[in-house]
Amino acid sequence: MMRNSLFSSYKVFACNSHMELAEEIASIMGKPLGELEVKKFSDGETAVNLGETVRGVDCFIIQSTCDPVNDNLMELLITIDAMKRASAGRITAVVPYYGYARQDRKAKARDPITAKLVADMLVAAGADRIVTMDLHAAQIQGYFTIPVDHMIGQPLLTEYYRKQNIEDLVIVSPDHGSVPRARNMAEPLGCPIAIVDKRRPKPNVSEIMNIIGDIKGKNCILLDDMIDTAGTITNAANALKDLGAKSVRACATHPVLSGPAKERIEASAIEELVLLNTMPIPEEKMLDKMKVLSIGPVFAEALKRIHDNESISKIFEGNRF
C-alpha cells in the first residue's frame, strides 16, 4: 500500500534553459507552469521573481544546466533559494542534463572535482531532492546528501529501435565506459554487442584503435550517454564502416553538440542519429539525419510518483518507454 503524499498539492516551475520541455512536462501532469520570472539585471546578475505562494507546497523546478552552463546553474540556485525562503514544503530540482558531470574526479594533480562542488551548491541552496538523467558517472549520486532519482535514457532509445525491426543488429559501445549501457540495450533487442577500443591523446580528440566483436555485414548502432564535439562517435562510425559494417546508426541521451559537432556528424558514416531532448537543440545545429525523442512523458510520470511517494524504478520495468 502506497503512502499518500506529505504535501496536499504540488506545483511545477521552470527557469529559462528548456522552456519547451518544461511546458510539455507540466501539460502531461495537467498543471500550468507556476508564475516564475527569471531575468537579468543590467549588470548581468540573475533576478528571480516568484509570483505565487509556495508555502507548504511540493515544488518541482525544471532546469537543465546546459550551455550557457553558469547562467543556467545560477538561475536554478537562486530559484531554489527563493522557494526555500518562501517556505516551500519540498523543493525538487529537476535537472535532465547535469552540467559539470564530466569533472567527477581528479584526472591529474590539482584538478577540481566540480561535479561535487555543484552538488554541494544545490544542497546549500535548499534543494531537498534531485531528479536527473544519465549522469556521466553514476557515482555522482553519492556526492549528494539528499535523495537523487537517476533516470535512464536507454529504454527510450531501445523502444525506438525495437519498433524498427532491424535485422543483423549489433549494439556498439564507442568506448569501454559505455559497455554496460550497450549490454542493457542489446539484451531486450536480442542482439550481440561490440566495443570500440580507442586511445584519447588529449581532451576532445580520440583515435580509433580496434573493434572488439563481429561487425562485418552487420547493421550497427553506436550508443553513448552524450555527444559533445562528436569526435568519438564519428570516428567510431567511420571505423565501423571501413571495417565492413553494413550500416551505422548512432544514439545518445544528451545532445551537447558543441564546436565542430554538426560538421563532423554530417560528414560521417552515421545514417541516423537519435537524441533525447534533455536540452534544447538550436535549429542551426539540426541535421536531416537527426531525430529527437522526448523525455517529457518519463519525467512527468516520475514527478507524479515522487509527489505520491511511489516507486520510480517501476517506470522502466519491461522498457515501457
Q: Tally Cβ neighbours within 10 Å of residue 27.
A: 14
Question: Pick from 202, 258, 198: which is nearest to 230 by CA?
Answer: 258
Q: Tally Cβ neighbours within 10 Å of residue 182.
A: 24
Catalytic positions, written as ranges: 198
Rounded-to-integer distance, Cα 172 and Cα 78, Å: 41
3-state helix, strand, coil split of the chain in percent (to 5) is 35, 25, 40
Rounded-to-integer distance, Cα 86 and Cα 112, Å: 33
Q: Classify each residue of 238-254 as buried b or exposed e, where b means 16 or more C-beta atoms within 10 Å of its C-beta.
A: bbbbeeebebbbbbbbb
Rounded-to-integer distance, Cα 83 and Cα 90, Å: 9
Rounded-to-integer distance, Cα 255 and Cα 261, Å: 10
Alpha-carbon distance values, 287 to 152, 269, 272, 273 (Å): 25, 14, 10, 9
